[in-house]
Amino acid sequence: MQLFRHPEDRLPVLLFAGVFALDLAVIATATTWWAPMLWFAAMAIPKGWICSWNHHHQHRPTFKHWLPNRLLDIVFGFQTGVTSHTWFLHHVVGHHVNYLDQDKDESRWRRDDGTTMGEVEYGLLTAISAYPRAWAVGAKYPRARRTFLRMGILQAALLGALMLTNFWNALWVFAFPMMLSLYLTAWATYFHHADLDTDDGMEASYNILHPLYNLATGNLGYHTAHHLQHGLHWSELPRLHRELQHRIPRDLYRLPGIPFVWFGSEAKIELDEAELDAEQSAA
């Protein structure tokens, strides 16, 4: 029986499961006050990358059956601070529906007075409001909201049990990383859309072509393609981007942040830019 919808997900899921197993091992075995803090620091950025894969999973569930999907939701919830169906409600049937309208967008970057939020302001506000906004969207999707509520209660109960078992270790291995990863998820979204006030989907997202960034995030850099076909599996986004890239304005391509920008991006970006310019000229 085929378990995965797409075989490309096998290795990523194995990696996420390995990180989760290491998390549990640190909780169970760390005996010094500094060991879980060190683990928190070492895994802060990798768990930020895992947030992208949780995003993909809530767009298009990884498994064909509900039980492994809910188990993966629990793993992702501990790693990213985003529990089952939170991003489905807030992001898939919220932000993706409303991202061209800053009066409705669940991830809106514009203040009520029409000015653009700063990145820290946006990240904090979006992270703090994520669960209330997901609940509000759920009024239109009662079945998804029931799953969101039940799984949220289960996630909180599991975290509570771990903290009762070893409060200090669970605080640094799960609780603090969950809060940080939720913020980092919101913060990253700012760089995909901020200041792009338009009703044209081809002009509403920034794109990142850096290969290491897209390897770590499951091709999230092909963001215009993702928004135009948000149900498309992450492995298909480069193909769709190649079909669309001549229609994407030149100024909507940007370099990634740290640490990817440190690793030989310039030659690759320049190559892609030259190809892009040629295609746009031909069009």
What are the tens digits of pLDDT across the range 175-186?
A: 999 999 999 988
Q: How many CB atoms lie within 10 A of CB 89?
A: 27
- Mean pLDDT of all residues belonging to the chain: 91
Which DSSP category does 115 fall into?
A: P
If asked whether residues 48 and 117 sit together in one domain, one would say yes
- Identify the bridge partners of residue 207 per DSSP, sorted by sequence position: 253
If asked whether residues 21 and 160 sit together in one domain, one would say yes
The share of the chain scoring above pLDDT 70, in percent, equals: 93
Domain that holds residue 261: 199-283
Residues 107, 193: contact at Cβ < 8 Å? yes
pTM: 0.90
Boundary (domain end) residue, out of 154, 175, 197? 197
The pair of structure tokens assigned to 102 is: 């800053």
pLDDT of 35 higher than 80: yes
- Identify the bridge partners of residue 231 per DSSP, sorted by sequence position: none
If asked whether residues 174 and 40 sit together in one domain, one would say yes
- Count structural domains, the chain: 2
Boundary (domain end) residue, out of 162, 197, 232? 197
If asked whether residues 93 and 18 sit together in one domain, one would say yes
pLDDT of 38 higher than 90: yes
**3-class DSSP assignment, residue 31:** coil
If asked whether residues 5 and 138 sit together in one domain, one would say yes
Boundary (domain end) residue, out of 173, 197, 221? 197
If asked whether residues 103 and 210 sit together in one domain, one would say no
If asked whether residues 27 and 87 sit together in one domain, one would say yes
pLDDT of 277 higher than 70: no
Instruction: Compute the chain's Rg from CA coordinates.
Output: 19
Selected residue with higher pLDDT from 277 and 8 = 8
If asked whether residues 66 and 126 sit together in one domain, one would say yes
Q: In this predicted structure, which of 3-7, 120-124, 227-231, 257-261 has the lowest mean pLDDT?
A: 257-261
- pLDDT tens digits for range 171-217: 999 999 999 999 998 888 898 999 999 999 999 999 999 999 999 99
If asked whether residues 78 and 193 sit together in one domain, one would say yes
If asked whether residues 105 and 40 sit together in one domain, one would say yes
| Nearest-10 Cα torsion for 99, 9, 157, 173 | -90
Residue type for position 74:
I
If asked whether residues 180 and 213 sit together in one domain, one would say no
Q: Please compute the mean of the pLDDT values over residues 33-40 and round it to a whole number.
A: 97
CA angle (112, 117, 118) in 5-degree steps = 160
Taking the CA atoms of 120, 126, 128 and 129 in sequence, report the sign of the dihedral they define. Answer: positive
pLDDT of 50 higher than 80: yes
Binned at pLDDT 50, 70 and 90, residue 162 comes out as very high
**What pLDDT score does 90 carry?**
95
Which DSSP category does 117 fall into?
A: P
d(CA 215, CA 99): 25
pLDDT of 280 higher than 60: no
**What pLDDT score does 188 carry?**
85
Binned at pLDDT 50, 70 and 90, residue 2 comes out as confident
If asked whether residues 38 and 146 sit together in one domain, one would say yes
Binned at pLDDT 50, 70 and 90, residue 266 comes out as very low
Residues 6+ apart with CB under 8 A from 39: 23, 26, 30, 172, 173
The pair of structure tokens assigned to 210 is: 């850096």
- pLDDT tens digits for range 93-115: 999 999 999 999 999 999 999 99
d(CA 178, CA 78): 6
Crossing angle between the packed helical segments 66-80 and 142-165, to the nearest 10 degrees = 60
